[in-house]
Structure 1
């Protein structure tokens, strides 16, 4: 695509257009078919093979972490029963890079054997007053416990999905006049439900296809443990600064043979189908695109077919853009910075596209926890080859001569700034020893990929094209700049960009909410196709909005369009930043332990990278459009 944008003139063959149209129709058709179904098969590819259990085999039970929003702590940082021996640290390399660990637990579950009442480790424990206070803080801040059984995350089952984890406890507030009484209950008993299906292997056995739990607060001083009811006396109450003596951690296990699940589909329960959100979101995205496409099509008819029958604003603006043909391709000031922005944006754009393909294909699901981060880092480093190419070609096209400086600046500056901002953001997580923070291994990998892969690839692609001749323009440029007519305040293209930039944001509003919910609240949705369509239409909307403002700007004889086409799309990124801040304040504002500085920096970096992406897409779209419309002019 970039090759087309940087050539003097280009035309697509009818066969190529037919292929593009066919692919687009197939994608849209698949979306509509999926939206019309009541159920959808989650596209999840796991990197593990099924474990076949026979009666009495030991089931793999691992402790993971306790988590509340942005804060994630190792499981044994909470006062849970801990093995006397060294706690193992298992899990794949990528899983550990995500800040996760799997530890040995004291849960002893024999395969295919239901347990009525079992103790976690010892039959009784003494919990100190400090540990009780810690548990109260966990309950106050809504921490949830995460564990794995047969590599499946345990969770609470609802009508059509499983919400990962379970609450450490819960509280009840009562009001007596001006006095508030708060009672804390500890969930010290688990009802573990394990679903299995008969294995197709020659040795028989069973494969676990589902796990969910029901957490209860049980007063272990009762005559019979593991018995719970709704009465106050049957629950375990925590009181500030008061230790617990001879309390018990217990669990019950129930095995159920099911026929409606298989090992290949056991992750589907973690991805509830969201047709109620998916279909309206897609419809709104198409509606926004159609609204923007109408005036764009009118412009194309007017420019390329010389139609004088359309009327409206297109006809009024018909003469203005033609009169500035000798100035419209005048190189802007600071085009070194502009070319670096374009190169970095193209690197982010290609990374986003490739990662999105992996996401739709099911390779980045929670079945491969940590794969998303690792894939994004590796793909971003590889896509530096596209960034180096785009930056150098833009710089040469605009008349730049300091090619080495441009190549080095593009290879290092933006990536270095983003890396520094992320380091600053994570200092708050590292200082509190939150496992949400990237591990030392991940930091080392990022630095190595940046130094030994991203920078060399960017420099190599820049060097490969630095001797190419600059792309030509369809019009010559006068040596003396033309005066730009004075315009009214409402004709300012930046004001128009700020207003119309909200339209592309509407397309991405729902996917942003889904992404943030899955990242911080472990609420996952099978909306990969919907997200792919929304992101695709987001890019289309950015292009259309930028082109429409571009044509209007040229029509009022303002030829300073270069920087406007770069800065204008950043308003959409600004709306993304505001959306993320509103999400953070509404969900984390009342929880004092949340690292709000980290979330602010995370939102800032996300918006900055989005701004670079939109700027590159908008600029290249404007460049191509401007070249095409001025190629229709004929001079004697």
Structure 2
């Protein structure tokens, strides 16, 4: 177990708000991400981050492998989000001087034993990449790719520890390590002050079996890498094989290149790599679904409902109410308490908490506060917002509970505060134990675990109770019609009005509105890429809200017309069933896009996607429920009922 320093867990939300008012929505600098000017010869601090692999999804700290180490390893202070992501940022042994090129610097010499050779081979076999940071910019490997006849440069985050393959006609697979790194630091120079800002950090890795004459010492001159000729003999050099008792000499070059890219645009190369046309296609696809549903809702609301209400009111005047049919016939039962009403109140309150967290997070992300340059900021903000949104969760659950004529508001508040977080925490603890068993840096340390528990019990739970108290003190919402003492019998329903069938049908369209954007989100999470188009994501989220509301209202109307008044839970499950399709799509994505082969990695993937699907269920279900509640109250308050 280990304790780690966590910065930003308290006061981050206040800092966000202050920054918004001080700097505005268009021009601001994030904490720790302000531009830094470097003079010629200034020392540049290179930091190493975790080792990552899209095959295992298990991060490891850089010094878990026997790389060259500085005299003293210093851990950087990390925020809560960085620790949960498995980031382990430490100082590196590399020495850079601003705008001073260096060639063939010898870093250190390592002689492998059986254990270290095995560790290197395992990481190379699992395609692990080394991540570094310079002035908050992640290290990338430029890759030339010909696209439709025109060469283009794409960037890969981090460089591979090594590679495996056959060499010199041998049929045996051998492992080779990247022991020579050719760094390129791009900078934008201020012509007036001659100071410069770093706008790019690239590397080209090589595997070179270095050779030298005589005994090895700190002043050894390598024959395979001559700093005087400024040339690395790559073409004629033998690659460095990873084997027991093999000697590996780590070297590096540093080159500085002036760039026209300004500091404010330095992240463009990292971010502008996805096809915006696909995002626009996603928006158009979602809008078509919304327009289709909006047309149906408009037809129901403006034509059918208007005709129904007019006819019902005329029947009342003509004393022909005994012949009424359709949704008005169940007016005496439509607001009858649902089964497990307490559980419904809890889930609605949890859904409000999720909705508030997602909505505020996206607004901050759109304004740039949670950009990829602020590592861990997105996850930290989501956790803090979840905690503070407990106030609204308690309020929503107790208001609905009082509408259901409940009296024990503390019990509802307790269940709201614990049900959803307890389920998520149980899954999280099991997954964390698996990660811990793999000795991965992704395992949450004891200190961070204590911080999470404190956020839950120390802040979220009290806020839920405060919200529940405020909500319960409000006067109860009266039903627009009276409920009969004896429930009426529900007639036999057509096959297409079967609850299971209609619920499953209702979840297709909300999922269809978001599944294209979901692909990009999954890619950013599991394929180690950046997701930054929060404007598109916010539009898709608004479309999701509208779609959930409209499809639930449409199916609720059909249900009431069939004289089935058990709409409470069905309205929640109708839009909430989109979470089932999300999990099925995640399963499809696993088998078609990922290369995960290890059991632990697969369990991590499905465990985290189960948590995401569960959260999506309570979010979409709550949207559908409130839309249906508004709809039923509206239509039954519009007709004359004795």
Query: Is this a same-fold pair by TM over 0.5?
Result: yes
Question: Is 1:400 aligned to 2:391, yes or no?
Answer: no
User: How much does 1:525 deviate?
Assistant: 3.7
Q: Which runs of 5+ in 1 are unaligned?
A: 1-40, 310-317
The question of whether the paired residues in 2 share the 8 Å contact of 1:285 and 1:537 is answered with yes
In the alignment, which of 445, 456, 463 is matched to residue 450 of structure 1?
456
Q: Which runs of 5+ in 2 are unaligned?
A: 1-25, 144-151, 213-222, 311-323
2:220 paired residue number? none
1:189 paired residue number? 180
1:262 paired residue number? 262
The question of whether the paired residues in 2 share the 8 Å contact of 1:95 and 1:101 is answered with no
Question: Is 1:390 aligned to 2:391, yes or no?
Answer: no
After superposing the two structures, state which structure 1 stretch, 438-447 or 532-541, moved more: 438-447
In the alignment, which of 154, 162, 165 is matched to residue 158 of structure 2?
165
The question of whether the paired residues in 1 share the 8 Å contact of 2:162 and 2:178 is answered with yes
Please give the alpha-carbon distance, in whole angstroms, between the structure 1 residues aligned to 2:599 and 2:555. 45
Please give the alpha-carbon distance, in whole angstroms, between the structure 2 residues aligned to 1:235 and 1:274. 40
2:209 paired residue number? 219
2:3 paired residue number? none
* Superposition map of 1:95-114 within 5 A: 97-98=83-84, 99-114=86-101
User: How much does 1:587 deviate?
Assistant: 4.7
Please give the alpha-carbon distance, in whole angstroms, between the structure 2 residues aligned to 1:540 and 1:293. 9
User: How much does 1:256 deviate?
Assistant: 0.9
* Superposition map of 1:102-501 within 5 A: 102-120=89-107, 122=108, 124-158=109-143, 159=152, 162-172=155-165, 181-199=172-190, 204-221=194-211, 223-225=223-225, 234-238=237-241, 241-245=243-247, 247-259=248-260, 261-272=261-272, 273-303=274-304, 305-306=306-307, 319-501=325-507
After superposing the two structures, state which structure 1 stretch, 415-424 or 323-332, moved more: 415-424
Please give the alpha-carbon distance, in whole angstroms, between the structure 2 residues aligned to 1:130 and 1:444. 34
1:551 paired residue number? 557
Change (3 A) 1:440 1:373: farther
In the alignment, which of 512, 516, 538 is matched to residue 518 of structure 2?
512
2:601 paired residue number? 595
The question of whether the paired residues in 1 share the 8 Å contact of 2:112 and 2:244 is answered with no
User: How much does 1:330 deviate?
Assistant: 0.9
Please give the alpha-carbon distance, in whole angstroms, between the structure 1 residues aligned to 2:526 and 2:130. 14
Change (3 A) 1:347 1:526: closer
Please give the alpha-carbon distance, in whole angstroms, between the structure 1 residues aligned to 2:562 and 2:548. 22
* Superposition map of 1:528-567 within 5 A: 528-567=534-573
In the alignment, which of 569, 572, 576 is matched to residue 578 of structure 2?
572
2:72 paired residue number? 86
Structure 2 SS opposite 1:72 = coil
Q: CA RMSD in A?
A: 2.7
The question of whether the paired residues in 2 share the 8 Å contact of 1:493 and 1:549 is answered with no
1:50 paired residue number? 35
Please give the alpha-carbon distance, in whole angstroms, between the structure 1 residues aligned to 2:402 and 2:76. 52
Please give the alpha-carbon distance, in whole angstroms, between the structure 2 residues aligned to 1:237 and 1:221. 11
User: How much does 1:354 deviate?
Assistant: 0.7
Q: What TM-score do the two structures reach when normalised by structure 2?
A: 0.84
User: How much does 1:161 deviate?
Assistant: 5.2
User: How much does 1:516 deviate?
Assistant: 2.4
User: How much does 1:554 deviate?
Assistant: 0.7
Change (3 A) 1:55 1:492: same
User: How much does 1:142 deviate?
Assistant: 1.1
User: How much does 1:92 deviate?
Assistant: 4.0
The question of whether the paired residues in 1 share the 8 Å contact of 2:596 and 2:602 is answered with no
The superposition leaves residues 46-66 of structure 1 with CA deviations (integer Å, 9 ceiling, x where unpaired) of 632222222222111111121
The question of whether the paired residues in 2 share the 8 Å contact of 1:88 and 1:103 is answered with yes
Change (3 A) 1:363 1:594: farther
User: How much does 1:626 deviate?
Assistant: 0.8
Structure 2 SS opposite 1:90 = coil
User: How much does 1:334 deviate?
Assistant: 1.1
The question of whether the paired residues in 2 share the 8 Å contact of 1:119 and 1:248 is answered with yes
The question of whether the paired residues in 1 share the 8 Å contact of 2:506 and 2:574 is answered with no
